[in-house]
Structure 1
Amino acid sequence: MLARPPVPLNPSAFPPTMQQQSQTTSQAFSNQYRSPILPPNFQENQQYQTQPQNPNQPPVLPPNSSGSQPYSSQNSLMHPLSHPPSSINQEQFHSQSPQMIPNGTNQPGAQHPYINSGLQLSSTSLQPEYDASNQSRPPTTIANPQFQNAPPHLNATSSNMNGTPSFKPGQYHKVQPVYNRSSSPYPPNNQAPVPPVGHTSQFNYPNISGPSSMPSNLVTGANTYPGQPPLGGPNAYPGQPPLGGPNAYSGQPPSSGPNAYPGQPPLGGPNAYSGQPPSSAPNTYPGQPPLGGPNAYPGQPPPSGPNAYPGQPPASGPNPYPGQPPASGPNAYPGQPLLSGPAQQPMTQTRIDPNIVPNVIQVLEQSQEKIQEPFITNAPGLLPPLAATNFTCQDQGSCNPRFMRSTTYAIPNTADIVKQSHIPLALSISPLAEVRSDELEPPLANFGETGPVRCHRCKAYMCSFMQFIDGGKRFICCYCEAATDVPNEYFNHLDHSGRRMDWYQRPELCIGSYEILATKQYCKDEKWPEPPAFIFMIDVSYNSVRSGLVEYICHILKNDLLDYLPKDRNAETSTVRVGFATFDKKIHFYNIKSTLGQPQMMVVSDIEDIFVPLLDGFLCLPQTSRGVINSLLDQIPQTFANTQETETILAPVIQSGIQALKGANCSGKIYIFSTTLPIAVAPGKLSNREDKKLLGTEKEKALFSPANDVYTKLGEECAQSGCAVDLFVFPNNYVDLATIGEVCRLSGGEIYKFNYFSIDNDGERLLDELKRNFQRTTVFDALMRIRTNTGIRPVDFLGHFYMTNSTEMIFGTMDADKTVAVELKHDDKLPTEGNSYVQVALLYTSISGQRRLRVLTLALTVTSSYASLYPLCDLDTIMNYTMKVAIRSILLSTPKSIRDSIITQTANMLACYRKHCAQSTAAGQLILPETLKLLPMYAAALLKSDLLTGTQTVTTDDRSWLIHRLMSMNIKGSSAYLYPRIYPLHTLEENQIPPPMVRCLYERFSDSGAYVIENGLVMYIWLGSQIDPTFVQNLFGFPTAANIQPERCRIIELDNPLSKNVRTLLNLIRNERNSHMKLFVIRQRDPMEPFFKNYLAEDKGFTGGASYVDFLYHLHREIRNILQ
């Protein structure tokens, strides 16, 4: 162990000022920035060029891309699978066309604002596929010409099964008014006509041709979409004709036949579509199997009968479907109504209209419109607003949903219901989440020397759901139902309702989130903790110096960051101490004691047995040592300006930081700034093990597992010492984030990645990320435990922490951006007459050194029926938990089996709803419950995300970074990741920021428009090929879009309204995401555009994966297979 004696630092003792080397590596953009930013070595692909579309033709499903991995069946990693998903490819997606109908008449009533407003997708049943040998087909004709010009007839809606729903006082339905405006895509005077369907609760917008095709468009029901009139009842709307029945329009002849509406295609007959050319192309869709033939469906009986078409059984018998051709015969496909009549035609392949399927933008806008009052948490089981909406919460019993959410707010009373429904029973907990300025911060309660009041049996802390008895002398625990004596110091009398007289004065008795000032019994060794410290450890190797990183970090620390050190609320100054060290193959420690005239450097070259050569003077308050610190930060770049050292170490650097904090008897953070893979001979040495050939195979999980346990043990030591590592990496090559990231994962730290760092492109982003890191709420040396009522318990934990037992999570640090997911499991049957309660207790050291407890309480209802389970599901939480389960499975399974598990779980969730809550609907209908109507959309997006695609377009380090970020991501962030937000820039107005969002569909982009798309991790600006040059000049300062460098583009400050509005919007997005996302510019038809299209969640991914509409086809088939 060698340590140099203290050396006084002065400018004359250092080499001359280093020459600024600001030129960065000039590599091609496609090679520099890799996914999730950009693909490597990407070449232009002609199949992604936009093609003009004939508006008179229905949209056509794209062919299956060669090389894409179809969905197939594997065992579920999440739930038991009774019916595995069938193998799927793009051809199979075209075999059926689900259509939308409401489930308002099929869903039993429940006490919830979304009662009986579920969305149903009514599908054509499996149709026989077209026979390629059938080269000649007769033209389609109108079956019933006499009804071609008949007036439209609205249909009646049958009443709810359980009548009018009842609501509890204070329930969220108060802020969900009934809507009157039409949300139809048609203009008000050009509404699509509605065909008569007898007395069913559906109406169809046919957009397909062919006599054996059922309509495949949206059918809405009660409260399905705001702006649509209610369908049914004599009092639907004043002044409107009655809805439904053969004599609904008095004075008009009753409607009959399938084609009673003008302007709509008939459903069959010998003269359907007269005047239209025959549809005879056998291979209408490239890559699609022929539609028919005797072997179109293996295992099905051959066709028979004089009028049977290839692959289709004959039709006969009465008409069981009102308004639709009858279905019968021994060879009828399940749920498929077959045609009767003398001249049936082969069906024409169709697809679902993307405009009528449930979409995220519409749901978010509708949810936002419903929010007119604060969300009040004064009763158990209230479903909160969507996480992405802008709402205010009033805490009156349960905690703010920003702190804790549940996958369902009606806990099933038995494990069998959870198993059958496949709805995960889990919590998403963000104990330090930021609240709005008009919301209540958790108040601080002081119980004095006696400490907090707790249940003597289960140790739960006092909450608003505890019941006081015996005149206030005892209380009944809502978790274990034990009676506990009230301490004399805490006693108070009860009023006539059994509530304490000081109920409003004590936060623990009236709100669901509060803090407790802890006593010494909650401190290590019963000693008050010291305020935390920050240690900055900077890589001074050749790569770091050459890129200008060393000089820039020292500059921003001196001039910006030391003024942003965190402090307690209402505190005047920060109590955080700071320390500095640099490293290459050695570690250099600096003495910044305020009594020194110049900083002193001490070098440790024996890194096998690392130690800290000084304690006194290493950690100091910036207020007292600012002059010495400024001198040090000026001299570091000069000292290492001419270094030629290219090898670095890392594990000993982290170890020395931990020892420095231990020696100061404090918690804190270690900020590591590293540029290369630690290949120097030392503990924690790593080698390049990247092998792109393994990506997407069964062996790829080895790439995302740690190469050794050195960094894992360091992470565990950090967590137990009350500190964390925040790793800032600036790589030009592979750095093995899967291994070195372990120390961040286990300690509660963060990874920031800056590929090919340059000050011009990334300097502002680095500064903003460090400011955000300093300013967000952060606590240290934290321990979290979750308590539940008898009958359920937490069994699984997902996030960034360390566990020494099965109940307590240990965090070196915990901040406002971190979220953990917890799965609950039944131990016993729950009584349905009671409620279920969850309490989260977080013990931590504050930024000022106070030991505190934060207590969060959530009350849920208990149910024994599926009908009341589904209306209280929170899809945002379900997807956040599902995504984190998939992330954990990456180290245990293959991408293909993970995707199959997600498909299986999604299909089973919807199949269970179809089986138990919508039994009266036809078998060919895909039914979506109101709260889960976006489940197929989010599931499809997750399946084709960079997280699970397993392709070589995403580097190993990028995927490791993505895994790390998503594992601790909150619900709002995961929602944006799965469905990125798109805003138009070419129509941006100052009084409309942010502007209305655009759906993630390429067809929604205008060639003359500009759009910004963000998913919380990266941001793009897309420029159309016909963009106005004036727009480009006002925004970027270039005469044309061709002058813009995609990876080096900046929105400069120009004095014009467009520049100001766009900068305002981008800053708003970054503030909302709590991240300074990297910005790229993509021009239409650029070679990088196909990669950009991968973020369009509703389209087909360029690395594989089905579009939203295609996934609905497959999901419908999976559900039918399960039900059959």
Structure 2
Amino acid sequence: MASPGQLPPGWIAEWNEPNQRYLFINTETSHTQWEEPVGGEVAAEPEQAPVAPAHGGGKRRLYAAGQTQAYYSTDTLATEPAYNYGGGSSEATLVGGQQAQPAAGGQLFTPGLAGENQFQGQQGGGQPAYYQPDQPAYAQHQQPAYGQQPQPGVDGLTNQFSAMGMGGAGGQKQFQLNTVNMLTSPPEPRDLHVPPPEIRLPPNSCISPSPTAIADPSYQRLTLNAVPTTSSLLGKAKIPLALVITPYRSLEEGDPPVPLVSDVIARCRRCRAYINPFVQFIDGGNRWRCCVCNMSNEVPQTFDWDQARNQPGDRWARAELNHAVVEYVAPTEYMVRAPQPAVYVFLIDVSHPAVQSGMVATATRALLENLDRIPDEDNITKVGIICYDVSLYFFSMAPGSTDSTMLVVSDIDDVFLPKPTDLLVNLSEARPALESLLGRIGEMFQDNSIIGSALGPALQAGSKLMAPIGGKILALSCSLPSVGEGALKNREDPKLLGTSKESSLLQAASSFYKTFAIDCSRAQVTVDMFLFSSGYQDVASLANLPHYTTGQTYYYPAFNAARSEDALKFAHEFGEVIAMPIMLECITRVRASRGLRLASFHGNFFVRSTDLLALPTVPQNQNYAIEIELEDTLTAPFVVLQTSMLHTTYFGERRLRVITTAYPTTSNLSEIFASADQIALITLLANKAVERSLSYKLEDARDYIFKKLVEIFVTYKNSMTAGGAGASAQLAMAENLKMLPVLVLGLLKNVGVRQSAQIPPDIRAYSQALLTSLPAQLLIPYLYPTFYSLHTMPPEAGTVGENGVIMPPALPLTSERLERHGLFLIEDGQTIFLWVGRDAVPQLIMDVFDLPNYEVLRGGKTTLPVLDNPFSQRINAVIQKTREMRRGVYYPHLYVVKEDGEPPLRLWALSALIQDRADVLPSYQQFISSVKEKVNGVGY
């Protein structure tokens, strides 16, 4: 290459200060190469150089006369949208139509959004009218639903790049890295609804033009949408590679159904992967090459035959070649035994505390009301009921009869079934007896004075009852198990809270709950736990049952059915769990391209072998995470990850659900950062934090999360910015990861991980169970709650639009937005707080609560009345939409919080505003400043 001063036509050169060498770029062919200033060797792995300003700092670019305008023309930049998530802009990003300015040291960042797009309350001397607020700065922008693609804007700078031949080799789109300064870019709630970086596959890697050939991220997503080619490059990036799957997610209105293939299953002979949109047809279409292992396979003869019409079919219209998510009807060779019916066994605690709290009456009434919702399309579903205190009570229901017989087993040391038949009955055949029994259980035990719980023996009885078939046990418990197998002692010790020994309270106190759970898993039995104790119940031990059997834990502390809110929440969630479609007898395997290895698994299941997950029954919307390692250098242009689930449907059909996603490979560190998915990453970190808190200490879990965040920042600063390894006044990060710090802060402040000596172990253990199982739609608000101003919400908020109820714009999570005359809503998917300012006008109190003024308003758990005025109806619509808009069965409690009300309730609500300082926990600004200090080497 000639010297920079004697460049051939079409070439430009840039001096890179940290690397002490030139980068030569051919603007016509996109060819790049590094060269030392004097006789140096060309670098082995050229990296794409980021666009830098033509003035100032450590980078100098030599251009032919007039070329700079193509990069830095004000007219060109003015067309660049403020948000460009489609990956078509340079670092010279515009916000608010102003040209980005270079930072000290030659670094260039997107200007911060402080002061922009902020929802301002009305100001002035008099009381504001809460009905007619000034329009907020961003009320015109519709907040996209989670996972919805935003509309693309004008992309002037990218067009300039394309005209110069810099669009990527071979026509493949490149991940474009945009850098922001985290110190001047406060968290913007809308950024959590932005889709992950687009998966940009090489040309011709997908044989289908269908948009459904790429799996929706709500099914399957990777922490990196461009996979590093070497383990050293992955290690350098410091971003863990992990797959996050929610394979059996619920279908919401407007979601396309999963296509069903019933004629032929085409699989690779070597790796057993299923045919998918990323295979290649060769040999005139007679063979196909597997995209996982490259094996050549014959195309089945029936693959091109339409069985329904009994005529030749269109291969290219087949579902498995056009959809990333498909289901197959499995033939008999996929069955170890005939498909089994769905089985539900209900274990109901009938001890004195359970009866007194109203749990027994609420549970039996909810079950009675939801009998029609139990999945039973083909009338094959079976049910059984066992009640327990310190004895076991079985109920025999003869088919066709309205009567039932109670059989008492007092010997709980050696549990046995008192009768071989009629304890587990067909739901449709025994319906009259079942309805009669559910109506009488409350009366049978209404005077029960026994205090004690034989939960362990009851679980053993339930397992014996369904062992030949498998199914789901729904165990309802109101007190600490006290007799028989699995008996526990109260080990709650306030002196341990906040100390290094606190993690011992989060580990199982008895091995019974893990060993029994593994036995259940082998017998295809899942356990769901519903816990109601007013005192210590050892949630940490009991949660092992759902954890290893693909179940879920539901916790109702201090449950009292006399409070209608408590009864309504439990009845709703219990009914939704009963009615939920489930997969039965499921085994799951994830196949990965050669060079990738599944390293570790996180979630509610039992790992049967190195890559086979046992899931006795699979509930909807449960999340799992799998860490991936690179064993070999990846030479293919893309890799494939395929999740397959062999299961029985609740209507007795054996099926295979297959989810396939392809990801491009890259040797470019900037593309790795530009492709990172912050939602998948925080999902993995939440699982890792819980795992570390149980294996080590809570402090270790917090340290791990914080250090991982710092490592990512350090790598980005050293490799992606002009400042290199030196100290910097700024804190640089890729725009697609800009919400990662505040999500990490939310995780550090979550009750499952938070540093505190005030969190009861049961509350902490339940929170950890949520952190490791919630789908992204529920996990993200659980870490970063939603905050609305209701008294100044736009006129359309709370009314019905094209996509249902229109929600108010979300605010940043800081108390600076609270106003003394205002009404605010804060929610995290599990709890809703309605914050009322002390100076709220009487008319607002009257229109929302039907009370004359603020003074007579009472705080606490409540049900909001629906009044005959538009404002009340809009607020109730917002609350109802909040309870319904996410996947899951949860029905959050509503708490009214007065600004000068009870301190514990007020502090609980304020703790959801995670950008504020709370106790020993830092504010977001303090947190991001401490990250900056660590990144610059302070404390290391």
Q: Structures share a fold, TM > 0.5?
A: yes
Distance of 1:989 and 1:995 partners within structure 2:
7
Change (3 A) 1:203 1:973: closer
Change (3 A) 1:940 1:118: farther
- In structure 2, the residue corresponding to 1:531 is in which secondary structure? coil
Question: Are 1:821 and 2:630 counterparts?
Answer: no
Q: How many angstroms does 1:119 deviate by?
A: 13
Q: How many angstroms does 1:909 deviate by?
A: 0.9
- In structure 2, the residue corresponding to 1:703 is in which secondary structure? helix
Which consecutive residues of structure 2, in runs of 5 or more, have no partner in the other structure?
1-22, 32-47, 54-67, 78-83, 115-149, 162-180, 307-311, 798-805
Question: Are 1:862 and 2:678 counterparts?
Answer: no
Distance of 2:203 and 2:512 partners within structure 1:
46
Q: How many angstroms does 1:176 deviate by?
A: 8.2
Q: Which residue of 2 aligns with 1:1034?
A: 847
Q: Is the 8 A contact 2:201 2:638 kept in 1?
A: no
Q: Is the 8 A contact 1:610 1:656 kept in 2?
A: yes
Relative contact order: is structure 1 or structure 2 higher (C-alpha 8 Å, sep ≥ 6)?
Answer: 1
Question: Are 1:807 and 2:611 counterparts?
Answer: yes
Q: Is the 8 A contact 1:395 1:512 kept in 2?
A: no
Q: How many angstroms does 1:201 deviate by?
A: 5.3
Q: How many angstroms does 1:379 deviate by?
A: 4.2
Q: Which residue of 2 aligns with 1:986?
A: 791
RMSD (Å) for aligned C-alpha atoms: 3.9
AA aligned to 2:370 is: L
Q: Sequence identity of aligned pairs in percent?
A: 26
Question: Are 1:1058 and 2:868 counterparts?
Answer: no
Q: Is the 8 A contact 1:598 1:631 kept in 2?
A: yes
Q: Which residue of 1 aligns with 2:191?
A: 363
Q: Which residue of 2 aligns with 1:951?
A: 756
| Residue in structure 2 matching 1:1095, options 892, 895, 912 | 912
Change (3 A) 1:877 1:381: farther
Distance of 1:644 and 1:434 partners within structure 2:
42
Distance of 1:487 and 1:470 partners within structure 2:
14
Distance of 2:644 and 2:881 partners within structure 1:
33
Question: Are 1:533 and 2:343 counterparts?
Answer: yes
Q: How many angstroms does 1:557 deviate by?
A: 2.0
Q: Which residue of 2 aligns with 1:623?
A: 428
Q: Which residue of 1 aligns with 2:746?
A: 941
In terms of mean alpha carbon deviation, does 808-817 or 726-735 score higher? 808-817
Distance of 2:393 and 2:214 partners within structure 1:
51
Q: Which residue of 1 aligns with 2:120?
A: none
Distance of 2:868 and 2:679 partners within structure 1:
41
Question: Are 1:1107 and 2:923 counterparts?
Answer: yes
Distance of 1:1015 and 1:625 partners within structure 2:
41
Q: Which residue of 1 aligns with 2:535?
A: 733
Q: Is the 8 A contact 2:237 2:715 kept in 1?
A: yes
Distance of 1:417 and 1:940 partners within structure 2:
27
AA aligned to 1:523 is: M
Q: How many angstroms does 1:232 deviate by?
A: 10
Distance of 2:247 and 2:353 partners within structure 1:
40
Question: Are 1:675 and 2:478 counterparts?
Answer: yes
Any idea what the Cα deviations from partners look like across 1:86-134, whole Å, max 9, x if unmatched?
xxxxxxxxxxxxxxxxxxxx9x9999xxx999999xxxxxxxxxxxxxx
Q: Which residue of 2 aligns with 1:518?
A: 330
Distance of 1:1113 and 1:778 partners within structure 2:
47
Change (3 A) 1:488 1:1101: same
Q: Is the 8 A contact 1:534 1:671 kept in 2?
A: yes
Q: Which has the higher strand share?
A: 2
Q: Which aligned segments of 4 or more residues in structure 1 are displaced greater than 6 angstroms? A: 108-111, 115-120, 172-183, 191-200, 202-207, 225-236, 375-378
Q: Which residue of 1 aligns with 2:492?
A: 690
State the TM-score, normalizing by the size of structure 1: 0.66
Change (3 A) 1:178 1:204: closer
Q: Which residue of 1 aligns with 2:650?
A: 847
Q: How many angstroms does 1:360 deviate by?
A: 3.0
Q: Which residue of 2 aligns with 1:81?
A: none
Change (3 A) 1:717 1:158: farther
Question: Are 1:750 and 2:542 counterparts?
Answer: no
- In structure 1, the residue corresponding to 2:796 is in which secondary structure? coil
AA aligned to 2:235 is: K
- In structure 1, the residue corresponding to 2:710 is in which secondary structure? helix
AA aligned to 1:822 is: I
Q: Is the 8 A contact 1:592 1:620 kept in 2?
A: yes
Distance of 1:1122 and 1:829 partners within structure 2:
36
Q: How many angstroms does 1:198 deviate by?
A: 12
Q: How many angstroms does 1:955 deviate by?
A: 0.6
Change (3 A) 1:546 1:835: same
Distance of 2:243 and 2:693 partners within structure 1:
21
AA aligned to 2:250 is: E
Q: Which residue of 1 aligns with 2:117?
A: none
State the TM-score, normalizing by the size of structure 2: 0.78
Q: Which residue of 2 aligns with 1:423?
A: 239
Q: How many positions carry a matched residue from both structures?
A: 797
Distance of 1:893 and 1:1026 partners within structure 2:
48
Any idea what the Cα deviations from partners look like across 1:653-701, whole Å, max 9, x if unmatched?
1111111112xx4332111111000112x11111101112222222122
- In structure 2, the residue corresponding to 1:396 is in which secondary structure? helix
Pairing of 1:244-255 with structure 2 (within 5 A): none
Q: Is the 8 A contact 1:1016 1:1077 kept in 2?
A: yes
Q: Which residue of 1 aligns with 2:354?
A: 544
Any idea what the Cα deviations from partners look like across 1:143-189, whole Å, max 9, x if unmatched?
xxxxxxxxxxxxx99949xxx99xxxxxx9779899999966xxx9x
- In structure 2, the residue corresponding to 1:959 is in which secondary structure? helix
Distance of 2:113 and 2:810 partners within structure 1:
28
Change (3 A) 1:181 1:229: farther
| Residue in structure 1 matching 2:674, options 871, 877, 892 | 871
Q: How many angstroms does 1:485 deviate by?
A: 2.7
Q: Which residue of 2 aligns with 1:884?
A: 687
AA aligned to 2:186 is: P
Q: Which residue of 1 aligns with 2:593?
A: 789
Question: Are 1:1009 and 2:822 counterparts?
Answer: yes
Q: How many angstroms does 1:428 deviate by?
A: 0.4
Change (3 A) 1:1064 1:920: same
Distance of 1:192 and 1:1039 partners within structure 2:
53
Question: Are 1:407 and 2:210 counterparts?
Answer: no
Q: How many angstroms does 1:791 deviate by?
A: 0.5
| Residue in structure 2 matching 1:483, options 292, 296, 299 | 296
Q: Which residue of 2 aligns with 1:307?
A: none
Q: How many angstroms does 1:895 deviate by?
A: 2.3
Question: Are 1:905 and 2:718 counterparts?
Answer: no
Q: Which residue of 1 aligns with 2:451?
A: 646
- In structure 1, the residue corresponding to 2:535 is in which secondary structure? coil
AA aligned to 1:358 is: P
Q: Which residue of 2 aligns with 1:894?
A: 697
Q: Which residue of 2 aligns with 1:59?
A: none
Q: How many angstroms does 1:868 deviate by?
A: 1.2
Q: Which residue of 1 aligns with 2:803?
A: none
Q: Is the 8 A contact 2:793 2:809 kept in 1?
A: no
| Residue in structure 2 matching 1:598, options 382, 396, 403 | 403
- In structure 2, the residue corresponding to 1:786 is in which secondary structure? strand
Which consecutive residues of structure 1, in runs of 5 or more, have no partner in the other structure?
1-105, 121-155, 166-171, 208-224, 237-351, 383-392, 494-499
In terms of mean alpha carbon deviation, does 698-707 or 1043-1052 score higher? 1043-1052
Q: How many angstroms does 1:530 deviate by?
A: 2.2
Q: How many angstroms does 1:1079 deviate by?
A: 1.8
Q: Is the 8 A contact 1:380 1:860 kept in 2?
A: no
- In structure 1, the residue corresponding to 2:315 is in which secondary structure? coil
Q: Is the 8 A contact 1:944 1:1101 kept in 2?
A: no
